[in-house]
């Protein structure tokens, strides 16, 4: 129950700031996307042509929009990876090094795929 | 108590199972069961006092104020960290299990060893680290009501340690500084008279501090004083992240850190 010395300054802020930013983005962005793509269109509240492949593709031709989409998805991906790492920890899985490697690798892979898909 | 008839009407037999442990004679803690005639208006602590007074004088536990102020009667009641003066028996089933607070070493029966907790509290330097000490002649430190409001909630802690028992990170890593101590650090960090945030960060933002918290939020759920330590920790994470990046962007500021004021009880 005692504080184990020596204490080290933590480098967690690097990961945590990405995680926090990703959490905010995920919480704000995904409900909107789900509302648009999974509810509004299938239920006919919005015309399907609005999100036709060509339109979205055309939108993504703009480099500025590409960068925004990249930033949003990049943050969400790393948020998810870190969340999974913490969840594993909360479930009492003590192999943090391996878990971190696993989920951050998946996140890295997803980021690479994202770059390939976008640019 | 004076009107025996009315009080007897509302008496309910409750089976109370208590974890006993005497370090001198017992190898392991064991459960002992008591039949307690509980009154309608009793809290758990009344039932435990009844056992002590009428059934078993050897039972050891801490209590003092019986009004959720002293913070000493925390116990696990049916597996939940509970202030035993703050939970009615009438809200409980006919069988109640009472154990010492989880995540602490047992000293004897329901009494836990709080040395580690006290050490953690003092490790965050929970006193005003003023920019400069004022002499009596120079007068008092002034503060506006709005400035007080900022941190008042975090002053309400009664050191009952329920949050430490509820915290799953505490269970995994008992070196974690923990909810109450981090909330206390936040209380001083938010105080307009205080300038000690960077000094506290040596512990607060260390590998044993805020970053151990994964925001489960159990601490805030069990806290009898609505301190909301989980919120304090999240706010501290934001502030500490800002400070961390500032150190890279403004390295010339780091030199001042060593000279940060160390007021208080030294
Ligand atoms: S923060 Fe709440 S639960 Fe934790 S010790 Fe203080 S009063 Fe008790």
pLDDT given for residue B188 in this prediction: 97
For the segment A43-50, the average pLDDT, to the nearest whole number, is 86
CB contact under 8 A, A1 and B113: yes
* Residue B89 beta carbon below 6 angstroms from any ligand 1 atom: no
Residue B220 has pLDDT above 50, yes or no: yes
CA torsion B197-B199-B203-B204 (nearest 10°) is: 10
In terms of C-beta density within 10 A (0-12 exposed, 13-18 middle, 19 or more buried), how is residue B172 classed?
A: middle
Q: Token digits for B165?
A: 């028992």
Q: Which CATH superfamily is domain B115-256 in?
A: Alpha-helical ferredoxin (1.10.1060.10)
**Residue intervals in chain B for CATH 3.10.20.30:** 12-112
Confidence of residue B248 (pLDDT cuts 50, 70, 90): confident
* Complex-level ipTM: 0.71
Domain containing A64: what range? 16-118
Residue B260 has pLDDT above 50, yes or no: no
Residue B259 has pLDDT above 90, yes or no: no
CB contact under 8 A, B103 and A17: no
Whether A28 is in a domain gets the answer yes
Whether A9 is in a domain gets the answer no
Q: How far apart are CA B236 and CA B169, in angstroms?
A: 17
Whether A66 is in a domain gets the answer yes
Q: How far apart are CA B149 and CA A48, in angstroms?
A: 51
CATH of the domain at A88: 1.20.1300.10
pLDDT given for residue B161 in this prediction: 98
How many other CB atoms are there within 10 angstroms of residue B195's CB atom? 18
Helix (H, G, I), strand (E, B) or coil at B8: helix
pLDDT given for residue B134 in this prediction: 85
Whether A70 is in a domain gets the answer yes
- Which among B89, B29, B16, B92 is positioned nearest to B55, based on CA atoms? B16
Whether A1 is in a domain gets the answer no
Tens of pLDDT, residues A53-69: 898 889 888 999 999 99
B119, B206, B245: residue with CB nearest A8:
B206
CB contact under 8 A, A7 and B206: yes
For the segment A40-56, the average pLDDT, to the nearest whole number, is 87
pLDDT given for residue A50 in this prediction: 83
Residue B256 has pLDDT above 70, yes or no: no
CB contact under 8 A, A10 and B211: yes
Atom of ligand 1 nearest to the CA of B162: 3
**Residue intervals in chain B for CATH 1.10.1060.10:** 115-256
- The answer to whether the peptide bond before residue A2 is cis (omega within 30 degrees of 0) is no
Tens of pLDDT, residues A68-112: 999 999 999 999 999 999 889 878 787 889 999 999 999 999 999
Task: Give, using CA atoms, the residue closest to atom 2 of ligand 1.
Answer: B223
Whether A22 is in a domain gets the answer yes
Ranked by mean pLDDT, the top range of B126-130, B163-167, B208-212 is B163-167
Crossing angle of helices A12-33 and A63-90, in 10° steps, is: 110
- Is residue B104 within 8 A of residue B151, CB to CB? The reply is no
pTM to 2 decimal places: 0.84
Interchain CB contacts (distance < 8 Å): A and B = 66
Task: Give, using CA atoms, the residue closest to atom 7 of ligand 1.
Answer: B157
Q: Which CATH superfamily is domain B12-112 in?
A: Beta-grasp domain (3.10.20.30)
pLDDT given for residue B8 in this prediction: 53
Crossing angle of helices B179-189 and B197-204, in 10° steps, is: 160
If one counts the domains in chain A, the total is: 1
For the segment B228-246, the average pLDDT, to the nearest whole number, is 94
Helix (H, G, I), strand (E, B) or coil at B224: coil
For ligand 1, the distance from its centroid to the CA atom of residue B183, given in whole angstroms, is: 9
């Amino acid at each position: 129950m005692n504080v184990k010395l020596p204490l080290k300054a933590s480098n967690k802020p690097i990961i945590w700031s990405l995680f926090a930013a990703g959490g905010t983005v995920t919480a704000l962005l995904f409900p909107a996307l789900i509302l648009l793509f999974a509810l509004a269109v299938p239920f006919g509240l919005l015309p399907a042509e609005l999100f036709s492949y060509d339109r979205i593709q055309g939108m993504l031709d703009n480099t500025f929009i590409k960068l925004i989409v990249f930033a949003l998805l990049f943050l969400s991906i790393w948020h998810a990876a870190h969340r999974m790492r913490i969840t594993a920890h909360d479930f009492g899985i003590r192999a943090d090094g391996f878990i971190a490697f696993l989920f951050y690798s998946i996140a890295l892979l997803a980021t690479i795929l994202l770059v390939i898909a976008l640019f | 108590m004076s009107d025996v008839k009315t009080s007897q009407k509302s008496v309910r037999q409750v089976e109370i199972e208590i974890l006993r442990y005497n370090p001198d004679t017992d190898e392991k803690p064991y459960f002992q069961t008591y039949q307690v005639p509980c009154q309608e208006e009793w809290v758990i602590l009344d039932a435990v006092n009844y056992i002590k007074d009428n059934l078993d004088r050897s039972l050891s536990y801490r209590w003092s104020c019986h009004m959720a102020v002293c913070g000493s009667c925390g116990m696990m009641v049916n597996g939940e960290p509970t202030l035993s003066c703050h939970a009615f028996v009438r809200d409980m089933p006919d069988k109640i299990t009472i154990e010492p607070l989880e995540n602490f070493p047992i000293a004897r029966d329901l009494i836990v060893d709080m040395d580690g907790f006290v050490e953690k509290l003092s490790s965050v330097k929970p006193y005003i680290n003023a920019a400069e000490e004022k002499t009596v002649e120079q007068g008092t430190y002034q503060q506006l009501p709005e400035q007080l409001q900022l941190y008042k909630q975090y002053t309400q802690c009664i050191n009952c340690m329920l949050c430490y028992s509820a915290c799953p990170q505490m269970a995994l890593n008992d070196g974690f500084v923990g909810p109450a101590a981090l909330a206390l650090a936040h209380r001083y960090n938010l105080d307009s008279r205080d300038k000690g945030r960077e000094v506290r960060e040596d512990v607060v933002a260390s590998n044993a501090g805020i970053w151990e918290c994964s925001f489960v939020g159990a601490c805030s759920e069990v806290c009898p004083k609505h301190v909301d330590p989980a919120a304090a920790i999240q706010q501290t994470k934001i502030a500490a992240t800002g400070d961390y990046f500032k150190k890279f962007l403004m390295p010339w500021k780091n030199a001042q850190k060593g000279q940060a004021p160390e007021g208080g009880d030294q």
